[in-house]
A and B are shown apart, each in its own frame.
Chain A
């Protein structure tokens, strides 16, 4: 079974600074999808960024980018120019190419400090 690990339960960053959230996963599959989701306090889960495993190029969405290391099974999220609105729980998620079950990590609570 696939597993997703986020080793940083909590992190903080100063506004306008850069922060990197870690995620590792375990799978025997070669084709799969990886995602980062953001869940602001008392609000719904929002997709931040997605990555297909067959693509070598790291995905980027505005201030958000990933460092996807397939051999190491690592998928970190970098947030540049952090904003107060980035304060949220961040979940890393895995989905294989055939199944429909998304596996989520335990989350990292990010606080952006003014």
Chain B
């Protein structure tokens, strides 16, 4: 148990719909990350929070994507007007004390 809960685990939606994923750290962690992983590939960085502040965003994060971490605890990742190319696993990870990442089980998005 890495202390990261992600919901929903799997979301199937139609193109053009909005979806929201949630990441809940079980314990306090200052650093929270979102990554995207497509089939057969390594995770790609999306965004990073230090407490409630979003400090870094990837160019992959188009204007249809928005992430929040309102109280420095849980985080949400919203995708508006989904496209088939958004189909992927969305991973939340927490920054460990010695520089590593601890990943959740991910939320799989399928856009039809």
Binding site for B on A (CB under 8 A): 4, 33, 35, 37, 43-47, 50, 52, 91, 93, 95, 99-107
Quick check: is B85 within 8 A (CB to CB) of the other chain?
A: no
Residues from chain B with Cβ under 8 Å of A35 in the complex: 100-101
Which residue of chain B lies nearest to A9 when distances are taken between CB atoms in the complex?
B40
Most buried by B among A43, A45, A50, A95: A45
Q: Which of A100, A101, A105 is within 8 Å of B42, CB to CB?
A: A105
**How far is the CB of A13 from the nearest CB of chain B, in Å?**
20
B33 touches A100 (CB 8 A): yes
Which residue of chain A lies nearest to B49 when distances are taken between CB atoms in the complex?
A100
Residues from chain A with Cβ under 8 Å of B41 in the complex: 106-107
Residues from chain A with Cβ under 8 Å of B2 in the complex: 44, 46
Quick check: is B98 within 8 A (CB to CB) of the other chain?
A: yes
**How far is the CB of B86 from the nearest CB of chain A, in Å?**
19
Which residue of chain B lies nearest to A6 when distances are taken between CB atoms in the complex?
B42
A95 touches B45 (CB 8 A): no
List 24 A-B residue pairs with CB atoms under 8 Å apart, sorted by A's residue number: A4-B42, A33-B99, A33-B100, A35-B100, A43-B105, A44-B104, A45-B43, A45-B91, A45-B103, A46-B2, A47-B102, A50-B100, A91-B42, A91-B43, A95-B99, A99-B56, A100-B95, A101-B56, A101-B58, A102-B33, A102-B35, A102-B43, A106-B41, A107-B41
**How far is the CB of A91 from the nearest CB of chain B, in Å?**
5
Which residue of chain A lies nearest to B1 when distances are taken between CB atoms in the complex?
A44
Binding site for A on B (CB under 8 A): 2, 31, 33, 35, 40-45, 48, 50, 55-56, 58, 91, 93, 95, 98-106
**How far is the CB of B101 from the nearest CB of chain A, in Å?**
6
Residues from chain B with Cβ under 8 Å of A93 in the complex: 42, 101
Q: A43-B105, A45-B91 in contact; A104/B44 too (CB < 8 A)?
A: yes
